[in-house]
Structure 1
Amino acid sequence: MARDRETLRLGLERLRHAGEPALTDGAVDRLAARLAASIAAKDRRRQNLPLLTFPEALPITARREEIVAAIQQHPGVIVSGETGSGKSTQIPKFCLAAGRGLDGMIGHTQPRRIAAVAVAQRIAEELGEPLGRAVGYKIRFSDRTAPGAYIKIMTDGILLAETQTDRRLSAYDTIIVDEAHERNLNIDFILGYLKRLVERRRDLKVVITSATIDTEKFSRAFGNAPVIDVTGRTFPVEVRYADPGTGSGDNGEVSHVELAVQAVADIAHERRGGDVLVFMPTEQDIRDACEALEGRAGRHAVILPLFARLSAADQARVFKPADQRKIIVATNVAETSLTIPGIRYVVDTGLARISRYSPRTRTTALPVAPISRSSADQRKGRCGRVEHGVCIRLYAEEDYLARPQYT
C-alpha cells in the first residue's frame, strides 16, 4: 500500500545504519509483519473491487481505452472536454479500470462542496454501492469516507489541508484535479504541489480534467503529459445578445437583476417548454431575482435558488422533476460539474464573484466582475443537452468578444 512504502523504506534505512544489534531486537520481524499486512490489504482491495460499468451514451466512454492506456503509461494525463461529456463521473472509474485505487485511494477534487457531494452520489449510484463505502466524499464539517474506500471526492481545500499532515499524500495512489480551468488559489497551489510530488513519488498518477483549459501549458508543466480531448454531446444552441448600449448598474440604468427577470418573462411569452437557468453573481441578487419572479411567474413555474451555502435538501430540489416549469436562479456553482436535467434556456448576466489575490496586501477579495469568454461558453453549454437550447446573454456581442479567453 502507498501509505506503507515510506514507513518501510525508512525502517530499512534505520536497519542498515544500526547494523548487527538491530537484527536481534525484533526490528526485522516488525518490518516483515508490516509488509505482510500491507500485501494482504492490497489483495483484499483487489478482491473487493466494485463492478465497473460505463454508460455508452456519454461521449467520454468512446475514449475509455485511450484514457485508461494513458493513465497506465504516464505519470500525468490532461483530459479536456466540453460540459456534459462525463469527465467528472467516469474518469475515477477509468482509473479503477487502469488498476489504480489498489495501493491507495483515488482522490478527486472539486472546487465546490455541492459538486463534490453530487459527483460522489452519482458515481456510487453507477457502481451500485451505498454512498460512503466504495465511494465517499469529504467536505468541510462532513466526512463520509470509509477506511476501505476506493474513490474519495473532496473539495480542493480539503486536499490542500491534508498536505499539512501528510506531505506525500500517501493515502492516495491517484489524484484527479477536476475543473482546473477555474484556477482559484487552492487549485493553483495543488497543481504546483502535485507537479513536485510526482517527481518524488514515482507511484503517484495525476489526472487534470477541465471543460476549458490551456492544455499545452499544463502538459508542459507535467512533463509533456498527453492531452486527450473529449467532444461533448450537445444540440445546437441559439445565442441572443443584448443590443449595444444596454447597460446595468446605477445612475438610472436597469440593473442586471431587472434585465434577467424581464428576459425570463419574455421566455414565458414564447410558450415553449423547457426549464430556465439564470446566472447571478451574488446570493443577494438571487434572492432579489427570486422575489421578483415569484410575483411575475410564481403561479406558472417553480422558482428555485441555487448557491453554495444553501442547505443540501434545498440544493437537491433543483435535480428533482416538477409538474411546472422550473426557473433556477444560481451563482456560478451551476456553471460546471453539476448537470441539471431539462434546461432549455440559459439567461446569462455575464457577471460573477471572481477571486482576486493581491500579492501586495497578501489578501484575497471576491469582487463582482465580468466573466471570461470560456466561462460564458460554459454557461451556454448548460442548455442544449437534450434538445435545441437558447442562451440569452444580457450583454452585447461586442462585449463578449472583448473579454479575455480565460479568467
Structure 2
Amino acid sequence: MLKALPIDSIEQPFKTLLRNDHIVVEAETGSGKSTRLPLWSSTQGKVLVVEPRRVACTSLAEYLATDEANPEKISVGYAIRFEQHFDENTQIIFATPGVALRWLSEGLLADFTTVIIDEFHERRWDTDLLLALLKQQQSHRLVITSATIDSQRLVDYLSAKHLHAKGRNFAVTVINQASDSRDMPDIMNIDKRISRLVSEHIDTQQDILIFLPGRKEISATHSALKQAFSEQVTAGLLDIIPLHASVTDDERKRALTESDKQRIIVATNVAETSVTIPGVTLIIDSGLERRTHQRNGRTVLALHAISKASSEQRKGRAGRVTDGMCIRLYGKAAALELITPPELQREELVEAYLASLCCGAKFSQLPFIDPLPEKTLTVAKHALSAMQAMTEDEVITDYGRCLYQLPIDTLFAHLITAMATRADKEAMVDLAAALSIPQRLWQPPKNEETQEKLYQWLGNSFCDASALIKIVRSEALPDWLTVDDNMLAEARLLSVQMREILELPDLTVASRFKREQWQNAVINAVPELVFVRREKRQQAMSNGIVEVNSARDSLIDCKVEDNQLSQAMLVFDQFALPGRGVKQNRILATCCSPVTMSQIVDADLGDIVQGDTVEQTDGSFKTAMQRIYAGRVIDTAWTQPEGQSARSAIIDMLFAGEAMPELAPRIVADISQWNLYLALGLYNADFVKRQPKPVDITQWLTDQIDDLGIEHIDDLALFEPSDFIFDGIPEWERQEFDEQYPREVKLTDLVMAIEYDIPRKLVVANHIQGNRKADPKRWELPRWQGWRIKYKKASRVIDIK
C-alpha cells in the first residue's frame, strides 16, 4: 500500500485529462509530484521524465525502483551523461534535459507517449528549448510541473489543463536574521555566521539543511562546522555532508538517506527541488545563489540574491514530517525578484541554437514562452554561420551535426573538428574534456618548491593547457599534485566518449603531439583565441575584441624566465565576473598557452600599418611597416618606400617638418581658414575661383604630390615650398579674415590656439604656453562679436565674459 501524499488528491482528474490534454501541475514542494506523476502516466504508455539535475535523476529513479514507492514494480531507469540504466522494456526513464534533446534529435523520443518536464520553474535553457520543440511537434502528451504561481502562463502557452495540489502537511516557522527588515542577503563572513547559528540549534537533534551559493562557500562552511563540532563528529554522533552537482555517490546517499546520526547538509540549490531529504526540520537559508546573466554582451557568472519563488522552495524542504523552522539570513521585506529570470534571457544562445537546428527546427522561429533577446540571437546566428555549422536559411550542415554530436561546448567541438592531424585532434579532445567538467580539475601549486616540481614534470610544455592534457592522460599522477579525483574521472570519461565518437585511439595510448604545430592549428581555426599583453598594463591581455586579465591560478605568469612574461598566448577558457560599473565586466583568462609573436605573424593576423620613415647613414630612406594586432605592434619590417608607401612617407615627413619645414604650417593654416571661411557662409562665386567644397589637408597634399610627379622621397629635393600653392580665400580678403578669425592669439606671456565651433557659435581658446597665472580678459581678445568664448587650460574650462 502506497503511503498517502498530498498529490494523491488529483490522481483521478490527472489520469482522465492525460488521455486528451497537456497538463500543467502546480504543486508545492513535498507534494510527491516527482514520484506519483510518472507512475500514473505509465498507464498510457512509456514515460520520459526530464529532471533538471543529475542528482535528482539518479535519486528519484533509485527511489521509484523500491517496493515502498512502486509496489506494482513498474520498470524504472535513468539516463545521465556517462551513465545509463534502462533497457527497451523500461516503462519510466528519468533523464537530464541534455540527454532528452539528443534523443529528440536522433528520433528516439518516438518511443515515449508522455513527456514530463519536472521543476520547469527553474527555467533552464535546455528545458525551455525542449518544451518549445515538443510544442511545435505536437507528438507527445506533455505534463509540466511547476512550484510557482507563474503556472497560468504555461497553461495559456500550451492550451493545457491546470491541476493544483497542496504540498506541506506541517507548519514551517520563518525567522529572519537581519538587523533591518529590508536587509538583502550578504556573503560577508557567511561561514562564521552559519557556524554560530548551528551552535544555537545543534542540541535539538534535528537534521539541518543549509543553503549556500556555491562549492567555495560550502567548502569553507563545511570546514568551519567540522572544526566547531569536531568532538561530535569524532564520536560518530554528527555527520556533516556537502551536497552539490559533483559530490561522490557516497556523499549523495548520505545526504538523501536518514541516519542514526544527526546530519548537517551543506548544499547549493541542487537541494532546492526534486530531491527529498528526509528528516530535515531546520533550514538555514543564505538567500544567495550563483547564476549567469548577460552583461554588456557577455555571459557572466555572479552572486545573486535568490527569487521569492526560490525562497519558498527552500523553506519547503522543512516541514515534511513534522513542524519545521526556516531561518533566513536576510530581512522579511528584502526586495527579492518574484521568480528567477529564464536562462535563455541571460545567457549566450549558440549551444541552444545548434541543438534546435539538429532537432530540425529553426531556432529563431520556435514558439518560446518568452521572446528571445534579438541582440543575443543575432550574435549566436553569426557565430554558427562563421563556423559553417548552418546555412543562411537556418538549415544544419553536416559539419554542424558533427559539432552537436560532441557533448561539449560548441567552440571546443569546432576546434576539435578543425584539427588536421590525429595527434592534434586527440590533444584538443583531452583539453576540451578537462575544461567541460562542472568544477576545476586541479589546483596549481602556490609555493616555489612545488612549482619547480611541476616545471620539471611538464618539461618545455609549462602552461595551463599542457598541464590539463597531461593530467587527463597520466595513469599515475605525482602525489604533490592537488587533483580532484571525481572531476578527473569525469574528464576521462568524457575524453573516452569523444574518442569513440571520432574513432580516435584509446586514452591509454594517446598520441604524442607537437605543441607548436597544435597551437598553429588552433590559431588558424579560431584566431580570436590569440591574445597579446597590453604594453603598459602587463596583467591585461586583448585580442582586439575583448580584454582579459590572467587569473590568479593560471600558470601563464608562473616560472617567468629572466623576468619576462609571455607576451602572446592562446586563451582557451575565460571566466567572466561583473565589474564595478554597471556595464563593466572583469574577465579572467583561466586556461592559457603561450605562443610567440612569430606564430601570430605567420598566421597573418593583424593589420599592416605604415610607421615612421627614417633617413639612413647613406642618405637613403626606409619606412617601417608595422603589423598591429589588438592595438599592439607585434612585428616591424623596414622597406624602401615605393608607390603608396612612398607617398604616405612623404606626407608624414612634410607634416613632421622633416622636409620643407615651412610648408606644413602654411598649408595647414591656408586650408583650415578656407574651411572656416566656407562654414561661416562667406563664399562669393564672383570673387573666389575655387569650388565651395571643404578640403582635406592630407588628400590635398596627396593630390599635389601626384600632380608634381613626386614618386620617391629623394624627388622632394627638386621642389620648393612655393611649388605647393593652395588657392583659397582671395588675397585681398585674407588678412582681414585672419584678424577677425585668428588661429592663434598671443598675449603677454600667454599663447593660445583657437578652435571654432560654428554650429554652437563657440570659440575655444586653448592654452599652449606661457606662465601667466591670470585668465585672459574679454577685452584682450579679438572681437568675435556674437560668439561665446571659453578658455581651456589642461582640464580646467571657464567662460570668458
* In structure 2, C-alpha distance between the alignment counterparts of 1:356 and 1:58, rounded to whole Å: 37
Give me the whole-angstrom Cα distance separating, in 1, the residues matched to 2:61 and 2:185. 39
Corresponding residue number in structure 2 for 1:312:
249
| 1:405 corresponds to 2:338 | yes
Distance in 1, matches of 2:229 and 2:212, equals 18
1:173 to 92, 113, 136: 113
Correspondence 1:248-259 to 2 at 5 A:
254-259=188-193
Q: Is there any run of 5+ residues in structure 1 with no aligned partner, and where?
A: 1-52
Q: From 211, 234, 237, give the equivalent of 2:169.
A: 234
| Residue 344 in structure 1 maps to residue 284 in structure 2 | no
Distance apart, 1:230 and its partner CA: 0.4
Matching residue of 1:93:
39
Name the SS of the counterpart of 1:288 in structure 2. helix
By how many angstroms is 1:249 displaced? 5.8
- Deviation track 1:266-325 (CA, whole Å, cap 9, x = no partner) reads 222xx3231000001111111110100011123332111111111222211113333331
Contact kept, 8 Å, 1:184 with 1:355, in 2: the verdict is no
Q: How many Å apart are 1:128 and its aligned residue?
A: 5.0
Residues 363-394 of structure 1, C-alpha deviations (whole Å, 9 max, x = no match): 64432211001101110111111111110101
1:3-402 to 2 correspondence within 5 Å?
55-74=2-21, 76-97=22-43, 100-101=44-45, 105-125=46-66, 126-127=69-70, 134-166=75-107, 169-198=109-138, 201=139, 204-223=140-159, 225-244=160-179, 254-268=188-202, 271-300=203-232, 301-356=238-293, 361=297, 364-399=299-334, 402=335
Using the alignment, how far apart are the partners of 1:217 and 1:247 within structure 2? 29
Task: State how far apart, in whole Å, the 1-side matches of 2:248 and 2:261 are.
Answer: 23
* Contact 2:222-2:240 at 8 Å conserved across structures: yes
Larger radius of gyration: 2
Rounded to whole Å, the distance in 2 between the matches of 1:184 and 1:248 is 23
- Two-structure CA RMSD over aligned residues (Å): 2.0
Q: 1:129 to 1:304 in 2, by over 3 A?
A: farther
CA contact (8 A) 1:348 1:393 kept: yes
- Give 5+ residue unaligned stretches, structure 2: 233-237, 341-801
**What letter matches 2:52 in structure 1?**
P
Q: Is the 2:29–2:273 contact (alpha carbons within 8 Å) kept by the matching residues of 1? A: yes
Change (3 A) 1:237 1:355: same
Question: Partners of 2:20 and 2:276 in 1: how far apart?
Answer: 31
Distance, in Å, in 1 between the alignment partners of 2:102 and 2:293 is 21
Equivalent residue of 1:163, what SS? helix
SS at match of 2:40: helix
Residues 249 and 351 (structure 1 numbering): CA distance in 2 closer, same or farther, change over 3 Å? closer
* Distance in 1 (alpha carbons) for counterparts of 2:294 and 2:48: 27
Return the letter of the residue paired with 1:191: L
Q: Kindly state the Cα deviation for residue 234 of structure 1 after the two structures are TM-superposed.
A: 2.6
Separation in 1, partners of 2:294, 2:247:
26
Q: Is the 8 A contact 1:374 1:405 kept in 2?
A: yes
The residue type paired with residue 259 of structure 1 is: R
Conserved in 2, the CA contact under 8 Å of 1:260 and 1:394? Answer: no
| Cα offsets for 1:79-106 (capped at 9, x unmatched) | 0101111100010111123xx21xxx31
Counterparts of 1:366 and 1:141 in 2: how far apart (Å)? 26
List structure 1 runs of 4+ shifted beyond 6 angstroms: none
Distance 1:70 1:249, change over 3 A: closer
User: Which one-letter code corresponds to 1:403 in the other structure?
Assistant: L
Q: 1:68 to 1:355 in 2, by over 3 A?
A: farther
**Letter of the structure 1 residue corresponding to residue 263 of structure 2:** K
Are the aligned partners of 1:134 and 1:146 in contact in 2 as well (CA < 8 Å)? no
CA distance in 1, matches of 2:60, 2:318: 19
What secondary structure does 1:405 align onto?
coil
Secondary structure at 2:175 match in 1 = strand
Cα pair 2:185 2:330 within 8 Å, conserved? no
Change in 2 beyond 3 A, CA 1:142/1:217 = same
Q: Kindly provide the amino acid, as one letter, of the partner of residue 388 in structure 1.
A: D
* Structure 1 residue 248 displacement after superposition: 7.1
User: What's the CA shift string for 1:206-254, capped at 9, x where partnerless?
Assistant: 000122251111011112x11100001331111111223567768xxx4
Contact 2:103–2:109 under 8 Å retained in 1: yes
SS at match of 1:367: strand
1:354 shift after superposition: 2.1
Contact 1:56–1:62 (CA under 8 A) maintained in structure 2: no
Contact 2:184 2:305 in 1 (8 A): no
Aligned to 2:452: none
State whether residues 184 and 331 of structure 2, in contact with CA within 8 Å, keep that contact through their aligned partners in structure 1. no
Amino acid in structure 1 at the alignment position of 2:80: I
Alpha-carbon distance between aligned partners in 2 of 1:366 and 1:328, rounded to the nearest angstrom? 24
State the distance in 2 between where 1:191 and 1:281 align. Answer: 28
- Residue identity matched to 1:264: V
**1:160-213 deviations in Å (ceiling 9; x for gaps):** 2222222x8312111000000000111111121121111xx2xx2000012225
What amino acid is aligned across from residue 335 of structure 1 in structure 2?
A: E
CA deviation after TM superposition for structure 1 residue 109, in Å: 0.4
The sequence identity of aligned pairs, in percent, is 34
Are 1:114 and 1:308, in contact at CA under 8 Å, matched by a contact in 2?
Answer: yes
Report how many aligned residue pairs link the two structures: 331
> How far apart, in 1, do the equivalents of 2:13 and 2:300 lie?
41
Partner of 1:20: none
Residues 168 and 316 in structure 2, CA contact (< 8 A), matched pair in contact too: no
Please give the alpha-carbon distance, in whole angstroms, between the structure 2 residues aligned to 1:161 and 1:227.
29
The letter of the residue matching 1:226 is: K
TM-score (ref. length: structure 1) = 0.77
